[in-house]
Amino acid sequence: MNSSVPGRLDRYLKEAQAMLAEREARWRRAKRMKFDTLAVHGLYTMEEAITKNQGAIIEPLFLASAQAYRDSDELEAALSYQIPTWCYTRIHNPTLGYLEDTLALLETYGSDIRAGCCVYSSGMAAIENVTDTLLVRLGDEPPNFVSQCQIYGGTFQQFNVRKFQERGIEVRWVLKPEDVNEWRKRIDRNTRFLYAETPSNPGLQFFDLKPVIELAHEYGIPMVVDSTIASPALLRPLTIGADIVIHSATKVMSSSGMGMAGAVIARQPIVTSIPNEEMKADFALYLKRYPQRDQGGCLHPFQALMTLNDLRDLRHRVDLLSRNALTVARFLAAHPKVLEVSYLGLESHPLHSVAKRYLKLADSDENRYTHLLAFRVKGGPEKTRQVFDRFRLIYRATDLGRIKTVATIPAISTHLLQGEECREMACIPPDLIRLSVGAEDPADVIADLEQALSGV
């Protein structure tokens, strides 16, 4: 390799140190701000706007595949990660950085935890990158992991088919996640992590995460939590001890429903038995630098800006959608044609009290129970389909977290591929309608439900 011009690399290293110190000061300043302020501003400041971006009050969109460097020394320092630059959009991009900073701040809100974030093209890409990175083979025996079985159908397929059936990486299902002993029984020396989805989609399974996190740490492994449904406006698993949080940012974080995104927010450091200090110290940065760089799955900068824009009023939107969902759940619970309603906000729900302990709207003492509910229609799957087919305002779509109310029948859509046996294991009956309540006036959503139910 050619030698560099004397002193040039040193200059770049010093610049990098100054940049990191300035960033650290911004992070510390941001940590004194409230949730809504962080959702609106993230780490983007007036100074940055004026000195670097011609005063643009909105974070700029960097639609460039790559970054140019001043000379070979700066290029080499960048690509060997000696200086913080963005290089190439598959590795990083400044617009992705704005979204990542905001998500790291929101997920650690109310604590002094340090965390990094890496965003992805979808929630599934985020799940795959996290889990595959942790499932390294150490020695002769294959790795395994333990997961609750009540998870989103795509995640179930990724774990059961892609990892287990196709690659022989064993997923060990926990049927009753509230039972710490069941988790304990499934762990052995090759278990790399525990995986939870709270609340789960569509069953709204919820449990006390703390003892399970403690169990993971007792075995020196990380607790990974998919927190898509709650969002940081209601629950921040890192602040109760989890190591890694995953989001399908496609959902309530991007409520306008125009695109896909995924995110990983990881504590610095995570607990892990994998002997890789770089991975342990800053897992999100590690994902960005190596697995994502090598495997792709990066988010498009335009979508990053769209998601960032949707995030700004996250807390207010989650508040509104949750209040609407409670109103709709109460209506359904009293309806003579409805067999059962599953909504964590209903006092009759068996998991209401544990949900009440955890699901609180940020910066308030008030409980909110998310936008998601599920209900069963009396008369079985056929009647359920008839009701579903009669919706006029409520969209029939495999989607949730939208500004518009959407419904699906998980057994014939999101959870179709996992088969009847696995659906039974995950408590997803064929007559279940999942309803993601939007921002419409709940009276109109109720009117649509009423006409659909009364017509069958």
Nearest approach, Cβ of residue 398 and ligand PLP (Å): 7
- CA-based nearest residue to 409, from 395, 427, 388, 393: 388
Q: 376 or 402, CB closer to ligand PLP?
A: 402
Give the nearest distance from C-beta 261 to ligand PLP in angstroms: 7
For ligand PLP, the nearest residue by Cβ is: 123
Q: How far is the CB of 229 from ligand PLP (least distance, A)?
A: 6
The distance of closest approach from Cβ of residue 412 to ligand PLP in the complex, given in angstroms and rounded to an integer, is 15
> Where on the chain is the footprint of ligand PLP (CB under 6 A)?
122-124, 152, 154-155, 197, 201, 226, 228-229, 248, 250, 260, 262
Nearer to ligand PLP, 226 or 282 (CB): 226
> Minimum distance from CB of 305 to ligand PLP (Å)?
17
Whose Cβ is closer to ligand PLP: residue 30's or residue 261's?
Answer: 261
Q: Which is nearer to ligand PLP, 201 or 405 (CB)?
A: 201
Question: Considering beta carbons, is residue 44 or 152 the nearer one to ligand PLP?
Answer: 152
- Distance in Å, CB of 62 to ligand PLP, minimum: 23
Q: Indicate the residue among 237 and 274 with the shorter CB distance to ligand PLP.
A: 237
Please, which residue, 73 or 100, has the CB nearer to ligand PLP? Answer: 100
**What end-to-end distance do the CA atoms of the chain give, in Å?**
76
Q: Tell me how far, at minimum, the Cβ of 191 lies from ligand PLP, in Å.
A: 22
**CA dihedral sign of residues 107, 109, 113, 114:** positive
